């Protein structure tokens, strides 16, 4: 096996810049705040940062509507602040990748302002403009965020296409000038030393050139409501097929692989940079060397409960699929990000949330592949349900509120509840640093951009957990250190054991000795997702393991693999020695 690249060994940590740390006390996170917290991140033990968009933006989609690809949002700081952050991270051995939004710009990007100024503007074809049909939009396509995918522009009497909000017009990637302009921006950051990019929503980049109508008879609101009230798995399956049909001409269209190859060749002009796609399709690995380095294992997240059976089945399928693409197709696991509920809220059971949060981290750090963690999960931050529609910042929540109240004519309380469930704000609240007003994110009395979750006062904050050796934060630190010191956990092959076990997950991670001086190593991992104790008997050639980690109190330094007692919710890692 070739020596691993840095991004194969790394644990990534996603920073959501608006909510991570507020350096100037104005209620909005910023680069100064991030710079001040670099020591915290180093101490935590992560290796790389994925920074959600830090570019100038009118914030209709919380920064995923970029108004300038080569600058920094003024509320976050300056380009010099960014350089200081990047250098500070690098000095601590932490890499930084940026978020690159390819599908669309902000409607306030100067490219779009020019493009919409007249039909013969040289940048007209940088976006997707079409004539209307019978007094309406060019076809029946929806925006995934609600309403028609087409917005009428009275000045030039045409419609432009937007897969997301109308403030996010889609770029026309079939125009070579667009490619050049974005590749220039990519080089701008690579020249500065950033280590790569997370590619936003790549599946949406191309549309069917003939714009055929989708065949679904329901409206998007109707389909959404039907899914909400689906009567069972078969019904849900049928509705999700309709959903796919509704968007079939708007996603995963031909041309993507050539485009990703082009981007890869830009990246490969530089040493050792990485591309990770917001997509689960393994075809984006190309031949293993010519497209993306990683795509997320989103299928792992698509469940209400992370049971051992679910995780095992996911690993079996995913690892086999990746191996079939190429030995270079590297897995990449995550359980949460700024678009999904918080890990603790989503996969907790209400009674053992803390225990499960620990197991979920242990799972992330012991499965094969590069883990991506989301800021705040290390202290067990939970979803915040907003109480008032005026507090919502994610327009998706606002859209759901109006759709339920005004289109479906349901009561306002129900609309608010649905909106709170749909809104991504719940996982984007400010990081809770201390037990003080505003969780110490901003000074007392300052109105933060989203409300701070009041559970900072009951232990969900960094400072309290730093002082407590048994806190979730210290569990994260220990496990991150364990992983760093255990080659088998980083690069080892995965072999599932006890495949029938419903309560626990057991597997081996094994790495051979290598020509670069690395010794061989085999670890046995047992993760007990239940409140029952179990005595596990493994029929292995090596019977004794040196204990590397256990979340339960245990005696001695070694364990007998033919009789391993694991306690309720225990995470166990042992290294086979003789
Ligand atoms: C991605 C981002 C999400 C954003 C969307 C449109 O899915 O993660 O936050 O709203 O793309 O840019
Ligand atoms: Ca600030």
Given ligand 1 and candidates 104, 339, 399, which is best to mutate, with the most ligand atoms within 8 Å of its CB? Answer: 339
What percent of the chain has pLDDT above 70? 100
Residue with tokens 């909106």: 419
pLDDT value at position 516? 80
C-alpha 159: how far from chain center: 32
pLDDT value at position 225? 87
Instruction: Indicate whether residue 339 lines ligand 1 (CB < 6 A).
Output: yes
H or E segment and range at residue 482: helix 472-484
DSSP 350-406: SSSHHHHHHHHHHHHHHSSSEEEEETTGGGT------SSGGG---HHHHHHHHIIII
Q: Using a CB cutoff of 8 Å and minimum separation of 24, what contacts does 55-61 make?
A: 57/106, 58/106, 58/108, 58/167, 59/393, 60/106, 60/107, 60/165, 60/167, 60/168, 60/395, 61/164, 61/165, 61/167, 61/168, 61/395
Given ligand 1 and candidates 69, 145, 146, 201, which is best to mutate, with the most ligand atoms within 8 Å of its CB? Answer: 201
Q: How far apart are CA 509 and CA 369, in angstroms?
A: 11
pLDDT of 1 > 60? The answer is no
Residue positions annotated with a catalytic role: 200, 278
Asked whether 88 and 35 are in contact (CB, 8 A), the reply is: yes
| The Cα angle at residue 26 between residues 20 and 29, in degrees rounded to 5 | 15
Q: Is 494 helix (H, G, I), strand (E, B) or coil?
A: strand
Q: What is the pTM of this model?
A: 0.97
Instruction: Indicate whether residue 395 lines ligand 1 (CB < 6 A).
Output: no
How many angstroms separate the Cα of 365 from the Cα of each of 72, 360, 373, 425? 33, 9, 10, 27
Encode pLDDT of 63-110 as tens digits: 999 999 999 999 999 999 999 999 999 999 999 999 999 999 999 999
Residue 349, C-beta contacts closer than 8 angstroms, at least 6 positions apart: 305, 356
Encode pLDDT of 23-52 as tens digits: 999 999 999 999 999 999 999 999 999 999
8-state DSSP, 407: I
Instruction: Indicate whether residue 65 lines ligand 1 (CB < 6 A).
Output: no
Q: How far apart are CA 358 and CA 379, in angstroms?
A: 11
Pairing of strands 48-51, 12-15: parallel
């Amino acid at each position: 096996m070739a020596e691993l690249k840095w991004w194969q060994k790394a644990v990534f940590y996603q920073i959501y810049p608006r909510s991570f740390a507020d350096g100037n006390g104005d209620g909005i996170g910023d680069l100064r705040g991030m710079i001040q917290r670099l020591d915290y991140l180093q101490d935590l033990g992560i290796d790389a940062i994925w920074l959600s968009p830090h570019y100038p933006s009118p914030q209709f989609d919380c920064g995923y509507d970029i108004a300038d690809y080569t600058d920094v949002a003024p509320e976050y700081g300056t380009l010099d602040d960014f350089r200081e952050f990047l250098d500070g991270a690098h000095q601590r051995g932490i890499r930084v990748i940026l978020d690159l939004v390819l599908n669309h710009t902000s409607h306030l990007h100067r490219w779009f302002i020019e493009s919409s100024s007249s039909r013969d503007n040289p940048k007209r074809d940088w976006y997707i403009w079409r004539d209307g049909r019978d007094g309406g939009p060019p076809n029946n396509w929806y925006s995934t965020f609600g309403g028609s995918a087409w917005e009428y522009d009275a000045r030039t009497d045409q419609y432009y296409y937007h897969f997301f909000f109308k403030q996010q017009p889609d770029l026309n990637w079939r125009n070579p000038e667009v490619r050049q302009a974005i590749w220039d921006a990519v080089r701008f950051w690579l020249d500065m030393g950033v280590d790569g990019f997370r590619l936003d929503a790549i599946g949406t980049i191309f549309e069917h050139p003939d714009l055929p109508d989708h065949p679904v008879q329901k409206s998007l609101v109707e389909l959404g409501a039907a899914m909400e009230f689906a009567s069972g798995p078969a019904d849900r399956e049928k509705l999700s097929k309709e959903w796919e049909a509704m968007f079939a001409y708007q996603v995963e269209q031909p041309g993507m692989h050539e485009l990703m190859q082009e981007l890869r060749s830009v990246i490969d002009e530089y040493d050792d940079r990485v591309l990770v796609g917001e997509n689960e399709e393994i075809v984006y690995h190309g031949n293993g060397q010519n497209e993306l380095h990683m795509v997320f294992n989103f299928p792992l997240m698509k469940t209400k409960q992370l049971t051992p059976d679910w995780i095992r089945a996911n690993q079996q399928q995913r690892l086999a699929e990746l191996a079939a693409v190429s030995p270079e197709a590297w897995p990449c696991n995550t359980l949460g990000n700024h678009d999904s509920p918080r890990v603790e809220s989503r996969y907790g059971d209400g009674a053992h949330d803390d225990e499960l949060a620990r197991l979920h981290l242990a799972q992330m750090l012991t499965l094969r592949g590069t883990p991506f963690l989301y800021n705040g999960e290390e202290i067990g931050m939970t979803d915040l349900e907003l109480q008032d529609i005026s507090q919502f910042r994610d327009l998706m929540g606002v859209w759901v509120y109006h759709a339920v109240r005004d289109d479906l004519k349901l009561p306002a309380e129900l609309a608010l509840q649905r909106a709170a469930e749909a809104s991504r704000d719940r996982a984007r609240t400010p990081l809770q640093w201390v037990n003080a007003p505003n969780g110490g994110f901003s000074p007392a009395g300052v109105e933060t951009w989203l409300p701070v979750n009041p559970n900072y006062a009951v232990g969900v904050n960094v400072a309290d957990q730093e002082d407590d050796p048994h806190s979730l934060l210290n569990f994260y630190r220990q496990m991150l250190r364990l992983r760093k010191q255990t080659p088998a956990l980083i690069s080892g092959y995965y072999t599932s054991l006890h495949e029938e076990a419903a309560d626990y997950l057991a597997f081996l991670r094994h790495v051979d000795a290598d020509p670069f001086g690395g010794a061989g190593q085999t670890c046995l991992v047992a993760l007990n997702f239940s409140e029952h104790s179990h005595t596990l008997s493994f029929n292995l050639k090596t019977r004794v393991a040196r204990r590397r980690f256990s979340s339960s109190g245990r005696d001695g330094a070694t364990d007998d693999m033919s009789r391993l007692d694991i306690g309720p919710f225990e995470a166990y890692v042992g290294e086979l020695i003789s």
